[in-house]
Amino acid sequence: MSIPFTVGRLIDFFTTPTPQIPLGLTLGQASSLLFLMFTVGAAANAGRAMLMRISGQRIVARLRERMYGAALHQEVEYVERGEGDVLSRLSVDSNVVGDSLTQNLSDGLRSVIMSSAGLGAMFYISPKLTFLMLAIVPPVSLGVVFYGRYLKRLSTRTQEALGEMTKVAQESLSALRTVQAFNAVPHEEKKFHEKVNDVLTLARKEAVASGIFFGSTGWSGNVTLLGLLGYGGTMVSHGEISVGDLTSLLLYTVYVGSGLQMLTSFFTSIMRGVGAGERIFQLLDRHPAIPPNTGLPVDPTRRGPIRFEEVYFRYPSRPGVEILKHLDLEVNVGESVALVGRSGSGKSSINSLLLRYYDPEKGKVTFDGQDIREFNPASWRSAIGVVPQDPVMFTGTIASNIAYGSEHATREQIEAAAREANCEFVWGMPQGFDTEIGRLSLSGGQRQRLAIARALLKKPAILALDEATSSLDATSEHRVNDAIDKILRSRQTTCLIVAHRLSTIARAERIVVLEDGHVVESGTYRHLVNKEGSRFRALMAAQLSAAAGDSPSELSAEEKSHQPQEQRPPQEAQL
């Protein structure tokens, strides 16, 4: 801020016959003092830029971690349906907030100081000319307020559009095999183009608004400068102020002007940050429908029956369709129950309720007589081993994948679980359990067996197994079934199996047939197969004729040997 003042004094020093330097300094002393001030100023500037940038990045890092944590604690539906477009909030919005809080905040502070100190100096030199310059402030500030509000709205919409765009890209990139197999690349490009266009349209609106705003503020600034020059020039000719004073004043006007302009972009950037911040705090403040950290812990050694009592359930995303109605189901300690029914009859939904991805609309699910809603969800889930239909493997070694969720497991325990789950293929790999695997680098049967090992390592009280609908080759299927068989025979774990393959169904102690979201039949395999007109027989017959009609070769040898009695010779019906 000393430069305009110094320039004015220098001009007067060289243009007046009796020059004077403030504070009675010599020219050399004044120069040294200025040099020192510039050096200190430069060091402070460097420190400001560094500190602000570092603190900005720390804010972004902290926001991202908290947002990620908040997203992982939400109910699965919120994240899976992409409602929160978490990824774009994590990457884009946090950056916008970080920038507007730090770099921008420091520029803002700097411009406040610059403008007020400049104005002070101007008042000191000539109050009359300062008032003339200030005439520009009210209309510009009004413009800033309106422009800022408009920008905030625009920013929220832009972030939303960016989120939509990321969602589309994410979906097709993660399903690239399908996209390419169906030659849907042009279709996906078109979908993405539409989303990119939405972002572009909003960016255009912002560009037009900012063009008009900055054009008009720049114009008013220049007009003010022109007025100052004209009026100030007459004051100089009347001897009211010196040429040096007018020069200082003009330079301060430029400083104040650029300070105010910086303040404007500070304000608009803060508004943009507020828009992005709203989206961040929406996620951070969101209370998950199933709070993860409340409720009673579940003793890992506790065993007890599972009961679905008068359960009614519909998915929040499809409130019009009742998936489970009047469902009563009991699974005793150590019992294995196979859930069978037509596709869409609600089998997997039962598992989802057991794992508390959702809560029933009416009725309750109990474990050992206690409503599972009373338990801490994390603790409750640790009592359940899950083998999903299409198990996911994470990037890392085979050992780390088996130990997923059981971080403290020893290598011996991991190997024992793998052995129990028939994962003998691991020993055949060059680096055994230390082999690095990606998400898709194993066959379906191998992934299922690893998932069984992962579930077994937890030593769960309950095993929830959702059998793969996709067909495995006969050997693989046999190894998977054999692994399941071992668990069923151990009678230590209560098993709820969503079963599709006859070979698995026949192994369960009890079969529960579901139709339209409730139990229509229950009994042993032998009982249901032999029961005249049973729903189970009809179901199996329908499945087998469909399979035989579509492609008889799809039935594995094992499946064929488990065909219901009415379809094969009596001696083969014995299990």
Ligand X SMILES: Nc1ncnc2c1ncn2[C@@H]1O[C@H](COP(=O)(O)OP(=O)(O)OP(=O)(O)O)[C@@H](O)[C@H]1O
For ligand X, the binding residues (CB under 6 A) are 315, 317-318, 323, 341, 343-349, 498
Least separation, in Å, of the C-beta of 211 and ligand X?
46
Least separation, in Å, of the C-beta of 77 and ligand X?
6
Least separation, in Å, of the C-beta of 494 and ligand X?
19
Of 354 and 437, nearer to ligand X (C-beta) is 354
Q: By the 8 A CB rule, do 523 and 511 touch?
A: yes
Least separation, in Å, of the C-beta of 81 and ligand X?
8
Give the burial string for 358-391 (b: 16+ CB within 10 Å, else e): bbbeebbbbbeeeebeebbbebbbbbbbbbbbeb
Q: Which residue has the tokens 């009373």?
A: 374
Angle at 466 between CA 560 and CA 475, to 5 degrees: 40
Least separation, in Å, of the C-beta of 497 and ligand X?
12
Q: By the 8 A CB rule, do 383 and 306 touch?
A: no
Of 67 and 350, nearer to ligand X (C-beta) is 350
Of 287 and 318, nearer to ligand X (C-beta) is 318
Q: Strand, helix or coil at 117?
A: helix
Least separation, in Å, of the C-beta of 346 and ligand X?
4
Of 64 and 356, nearer to ligand X (C-beta) is 356
Of 500 and 507, nearer to ligand X (C-beta) is 500
Least separation, in Å, of the C-beta of 279 and ligand X?
24
SS3 labels along 345-399: CCHHHHHHHHCCCCCCCEEEEEECCEEHHHECHHHHHCCEEEECCCCCCCCEEHH
Of 160 and 322, nearer to ligand X (C-beta) is 322
Least separation, in Å, of the C-beta of 503 and ligand X?
16
Of 318 and 408, nearer to ligand X (C-beta) is 318
Least separation, in Å, of the C-beta of 80 and ligand X?
7
Of 347 and 537, nearer to ligand X (C-beta) is 347
Of 92 and 462, nearer to ligand X (C-beta) is 462
Phi, psi of 391 (to 5 degrees): -60, 145
Least separation, in Å, of the C-beta of 83 and ligand X?
12
Of 78 and 380, nearer to ligand X (C-beta) is 78
Task: Tell me the sheet residues that pair with 514.
Answer: 341, 519
Record the tokens describing residue 556, joined without a space: 């594995």
Q: Is 426 left (phi over 0), alpha (psi -120 to 50) or beta?
A: alpha
Of 341 and 377, nearer to ligand X (C-beta) is 341
Of 178 and 317, nearer to ligand X (C-beta) is 317
Phi, psi of 328 (to 5 degrees): -120, 125
Least separation, in Å, of the C-beta of 502 and ligand X?
14
Least separation, in Å, of the C-beta of 82 and ligand X?
12
Phi, psi of 212 (to 5 degrees): -60, -45
Q: By the 8 A CB rule, do 293 and 378 touch?
A: yes
Q: Which residue has the tokens 């109910």?
A: 75
Least separation, in Å, of the C-beta of 541 and ligand X?
17
Q: By the 8 A CB rule, do 225 and 233 touch?
A: no
Record the tokens describing residue 54, joined without a space: 């570092």
List Cβ neighbours of 402 (8 Å cut-off, separation of 6 or more): 409, 414, 417, 418, 423, 433, 450, 453, 454, 457
Q: By the 8 A CB rule, do 415 and 472 touch?
A: no
Long-range contacts of 533-541 (CB under 8 A, 24+ apart): 536/340, 536/511, 537/564, 537/566, 539/340, 539/341, 539/342, 539/513, 540/502, 540/564, 541/566, 541/567
Distance of CA 254 to the CA centre of its chain: 46
- Sign of torsion over alpha carbons 215, 218, 220, 222: negative
Q: By the 8 A CB rule, do 395 and 430 touch?
A: no
